[in-house]
Chains A and B, each alone.
Chain A
Amino acid sequence: MTSDDVLVRLTAVDKRFTKSKETITIFEKLDLAIASGDFIAVMGPSGSGKTTLLNLLGGIDRPSAGEIRFAGERIDGLPESRLAHWRAGHIGFIFQFYNLMPMLTAAQNVELPLLLTSLGGKDRRRRVEAALAVVNLADRARHYPREMSGGQQQRVAIARAVVADPGLLLCDEPTGDLDRSNADEILEVLRLLNREMGKTIVMVTHDPAAAKYAKRTLHLDKGRFSERDLAA
């Protein structure tokens, strides 16, 4: 992997949490390179630091030591407001519990990230329509989250994550709350986004079947990665 291909690089990252004198170390001297266009599944036992890793990659948490570079630019030291701006442009988050705004329609939820851009009303509407079409929910634009199934809500969340066209999608157990067929639908959408639209994806999952959709799987345990081919 040449350095040109690397979208995100973690170098000697430490992450510790200190709670009332007690310090827990999650990562120590962690190195990771994520190639542009990759689709990585991250697996590992509960408490192994998978969510923490996504938080570090997405700039919503900072490493205790080491550096994180995104497209060559260091992001670990950016102040909060610059980091927010950076996230808006480069990162899409997808959570286990969808996290949609209950008082907004599907289209309005998807439009949220565009409020941070200078796009006019017409352009925003076009982008929202396109994003909802990608997740196959064009006909649900005016529905509220409570009027949709879990799978549909998660697809709205995916549309929201991609509407501003970020390069990196971070998914934390995106199918953790869904049945097999809904999960497969979501995973198909993610695969489509990776293959057809070139999105780089890091997906945390407990489900080996879900991990099969990824190009490679990283196992996280006791603060270390081990790469194994599950298919083998």
Chain B
Amino acid sequence: MTDVSLIARNLFRKKLRAALMIVSIMTAFLIFGVLVAFEHAFNAGEDLAAADRLMVVNKINFTQPLPYAYYERVKAVEGVRQVSHANWFGGYYQEPKNFLIVLAVEPESYLKIYDRELDVPDDARRAFLSERTGALVGEALAQDKGWKVGDRLPVSSTIYSQKNGGHVWEMTVVGIAKPAKPHIDSNFIVFHYDYFNETRSFGKDMIGWLVLTTTSPAVNDKVAKTVDAMFANSTAETATDTEKAFNKAFAAQFGNIALIVKLVVGAAFVTILMIVGNTMAMAVRERVREIAVLKTLGFPPARILRLILGESLLLALLGGLPGIGLAALAVAALREKLLNFIPGMVMTPDIAVLAVVLMLGLGLVTGIIPAFSAMRLNIASALGRS
């Protein structure tokens, strides 16, 4: 017999009670894991945004276009390292309900700017740059739809039509872009702006937005001011901001998800804390006599403290570890379902580590008061109660 087996026997002396507590803790960590993974994925854009990347959009609204000429003019601004541009295509596959994220971009500069986020193999990169109707498909989307390099892809638009009256742009999958980090969205298609611009029936030579990198985050402000000043009082005034601010504003449209998640998770934990804390206190109170006997046998105060704390920690881990395991399974299952809404939902090591820290915290908080009272228990008076 060891202290650990003694702790386990104490915990499971009332099997139903132990099982109920384990299930409640498990549920709390399931909720925690799923919601935090959701929240991380939802706000990933903000966290992953590169510090040196700025977005230039139309001041009226980011859905309003900008003249193509801005692309060349912004390139010349001091402190700008690279510039690229993109158009929102409003894509879908076969039927409008099969919504796709499709951007028409300037391939070379676009890949350069997102070099740190996307892993594009060299042959795929070369093929994409050289083939006018080539499309680069993100890994998540390719996996979801089962698309492979070489596949012919008819992509329709809810916004644009072609000069010949058609709505379908024929593309060829020339490569798969892998996300370089877990949260990075790879549920997209990018294709050539030139192909798009020459075939569309309206909006010619207008681009959706510019994305640029600066020589250093320190010059971000100066570059943003210079760009906006350059186009002030023109027909299309611009608003330039960091990608981070842009993504944050975009996510905020859906409400303060982080706050909601914190409130729900917080409520779950407060409940668990009270249930487990109360049960631990009760369990120790029922055992006052046995604890007094252990002390009589010579178990020192610190050892008694450890036995009780060990019990609440074991309980928290027995509930928490399977709970976070279930959350990982649930997140993997939800990932497919929510792909179009929030891509990149994953159980990251960070979340798992945070969960384990919370388990240890839960174990300590619920055990500390009973453990201290057990430690300080007066043997003579505890044994007197028969």
Residues of A whose CB lies within 8 Å of any CB of B are 51-52, 55, 58, 60-61, 80-81, 84-89, 91, 93, 95-97, 99, 101-104, 108, 111-113, 115-116, 160
Contact between A84 and B298 (Cβ–Cβ < 8 Å)?
yes
Tell me the nearest residue of chain A to B379, going by C-beta.
A60
> Assuming A81-B302, A108-B1, A115-B1, is B10 touching A103 (CB within 8 A)?
yes
A175 to B280, CA, bound (A): 34
Q: Which one of B3, B298, B386 lies within 8 Å of A87 (CB-CB)? A: B298
Q: Which residues of A contact B10 (CB under 8 A)?
A: 103
Contact between A60 and B296 (Cβ–Cβ < 8 Å)?
yes
> Assuming A55-B380, A60-B379, A97-B386, is B297 touching A112 (CB within 8 A)?
yes
Min CB–CB distance A177 → chain B (angstroms): 10
> Assuming A103-B9, A103-B10, A104-B9, is B379 touching A113 (CB within 8 A)?
no
Residue B145 interfacial (CB < 8 Å): no
A93 to B384, CA, bound (A): 14
A84 to B384, CA, bound (A): 19
Besides A51-B380, A103-B12, A112-B1, 6 more A-B contacts (Cβ < 8 Å) are: A58-B296, A84-B298, A85-B300, A99-B383, A104-B9, A116-B298
Q: Which one of A60, A89, A103 lies within 8 Å of B295 (CB-CB)? A: A60
Q: Interface range on chain B: under 10, 10 to 19, 20 to 34, or 35 or more? A: 20 to 34
Contact between B299 and A84 (Cβ–Cβ < 8 Å)?
yes
Query: Which of B52-60, B242-250, B286-294 is the interface stretch?
Result: B286-294
Q: Which residues of B contact A81 (CB under 8 A)?
A: 300-302
Give 21 pairs: A residue, B residue, CB < 8 Å, sorted on A.
A55-B380, A58-B296, A60-B379, A61-B379, A61-B380, A80-B300, A84-B299, A84-B301, A85-B298, A87-B298, A96-B386, A99-B290, A104-B1, A112-B1, A112-B294, A113-B297, A115-B3, A115-B6, A115-B299, A116-B298, A160-B297
Interface residues of B in 328-383 (CB under 8 A from A): 379-380, 383
Residue B13 interfacial (CB < 8 Å): yes
> Assuming A103-B9, A108-B1, is B380 touching A113 (CB within 8 A)?
no
A113 to B301, CA, bound (A): 15
Contact between B1 and A84 (Cβ–Cβ < 8 Å)?
no
Q: Which residues of B contact A112 (CB under 8 A)?
A: 1, 294, 297
Interface residues of B in 1-60 (CB under 8 A from A): 1-3, 6, 9-10, 12-13
A168 to B301, CA, bound (A): 22
